[in-house]
Chains A and B, each alone.
Chain A
Amino acid sequence: MSDLKPTVSHFQPHATLSAYITGFVSCIVITLVAYVVATSNSVSNDAAVGIVAGLAILQFVTQLIFFLHLGREFKPRWKMLVFWLMITIVLILVGGSIWIMNNLNYRMMQNPSLENKYIQSQDGL
């Protein structure tokens, strides 16, 4: 009879206290490291951007595993499939936009000082 009364744990068998505590503590550590790197003067700008980006991805994966329990479902793994589809679209969208706009900037800015004057006269666009 107890089978007829499904509980939350029935559907989220991976939501354990230890998983949440592990996830929470690691996220705090990752956030603090990223903060220290970003505010430190002894790290060069390029290195800081790279480290912060890497830590953001690390924390993203940590939360996906420990908070959203991704990768623990049984076959067929539809959630995982939709997740990778999303990652692909996001990479094309963000990477493509930055690429195209930088390329456009590069092609149009033959004379940067004139270009800046033009941009300012055009209200930031």
Chain B
Amino acid sequence: MSTAVERAQAENRTVLGFWIYLMTDCVLFASLFATFAVMRGMTNGGPSGADLFSMPYALTETMILLASSFTCGLAVIAGGQQRRALLLSMLALTFVLGASFVGMEFHEFRDLALDGNSWHRSGFLSSYFTLVATHGLHICVGLLWLLTLSVQIVKKGLAGSTARRLTLFSMFWHFLDLVWIFIFSVVYLWSGRV
């Protein structure tokens, strides 16, 4: 009995520690958002957000990431019920959605760069690429984590440490969707309009 309580306490400490990391990551993103907000109008005679961004494209990206956040939640529930096949298929779905998101973002960056609108072009584009690509890199790290986590679940099953990693991964993944809400609203909806 006391072991279970001790384990639960250790688990809570791990979750709290990871939560503190996520909150400090928020501060990193906040500084990039502040930079973007300040540099938004500094196009140096080049194109502005309204000239460059496609809102339907950004909406599709948003929906894909939201769906992957949802399937990640379903994976956590499947894990709690010890349903391994369902858990692994939900993680696979999360991976496919996350990878599609990264693919779309890469495609967008490539098109911008090929049209001569890379980060060299203006202060506005520098801050845009820094903000959005930092989020994209986080997603890539999440995808790697998802792969290693899936291998661990296949090999070790849902023992204590794997279950804990699943919990932490879901926090990380939901957190990235939280950050994306603001990228979608500030970068695409706001700068794409005004």
Q: Which residues of A contact B (CB under 8 A)?
A: 3-12, 15-17, 20, 23-24, 27-28, 31, 34-35, 38-39, 45, 48-49, 52-53, 55-56, 59-60, 63-64, 67-68, 78-79, 82-83, 85-86, 89-90, 93-94, 96-98, 101, 119-120, 123-125
Are A39 and B160 interface neighbours, CB within 8 A? no
Interface size on B, as a range, is 35 or more
Question: Besides the contacts A34-B189, A63-B177, A120-B44, what 4 more A-B pairs have beta carbons closer than 8 Å?
Answer: A20-B77, A35-B59, A59-B181, A119-B42
How many Å from the CB of A69 to the closest CB on chain B? 9
B35, B74, B164, B184: the one within 8 Å of A11 (CB): B164
Are B77 and A94 interface neighbours, CB within 8 A? no
How many Å from the CB of B13 to the closest CB on chain A? 10
A3, A15, A90: the one within 8 Å of B27 (CB): A90
How many Å from the CB of B121 to the closest CB on chain A? 8
User: How would you classify the secondary structure of chain A's contact residues: helix, strand, loop or mixed?
Assistant: helix
Are B62 and A8 interface neighbours, CB within 8 A? no
How many Å from the CB of B173 to the closest CB on chain A? 9
Question: Which of chain A's residues have a CB closer than 8 A to the CB of B26?
Answer: 86, 90
Given that A15-B73, A120-B45 are known contacts, is A97 also in contact with B38, CB under 8 Å in the complex?
A: yes
Are A24 and B77 interface neighbours, CB within 8 A? no
A52, A86, A96, A119: the one within 8 Å of B190 (CB): A52
Interface residue B8 (Cβ < 8 Å from any Cβ of A)? yes
How many Å from the CB of A14 to the closest CB on chain B? 10
Are B166 and A8 interface neighbours, CB within 8 A? yes
Are B189 and A35 interface neighbours, CB within 8 A? yes
Q: A125 to B181, alpha carbons, bound, how many Å? A: 28
Question: Which of chain A's residues have a CB closer than 8 A to the CB of B27?
Answer: 86, 89-90, 93
Q: A118 to B124, alpha carbons, bound, how many Å? A: 17
Interface residue B103 (Cβ < 8 Å from any Cβ of A)? no
How many Å from the CB of B60 to the closest CB on chain A? 11
Are B82 and A52 interface neighbours, CB within 8 A? no
Sample of 27 A–B contacts (CB below 8 Å): A6-B8, A7-B82, A8-B158, A9-B81, A11-B164, A15-B73, A15-B80, A16-B77, A24-B66, A27-B66, A38-B193, A52-B190, A56-B186, A59-B181, A60-B178, A60-B181, A63-B174, A64-B178, A67-B177, A86-B23, A90-B26, A90-B27, A93-B27, A93-B30, A96-B34, A98-B37, A120-B45
Question: Which of chain B's residues have a CB closer than 8 A to the CB of A94?
Answer: 30, 33-34, 37
Question: Which of chain A's residues have a CB closer than 8 A to the CB of B114?
Answer: none
Are B73 and A20 interface neighbours, CB within 8 A? yes
Stretch of B14-22, B92-100, B142-150 contacting A (4+ beta carbons < 8 Å): B14-22
Q: A123 to B12, alpha carbons, bound, how many Å? A: 50
Question: Which of chain B's residues have a CB closer than 8 A to the CB of A78?
Answer: 16
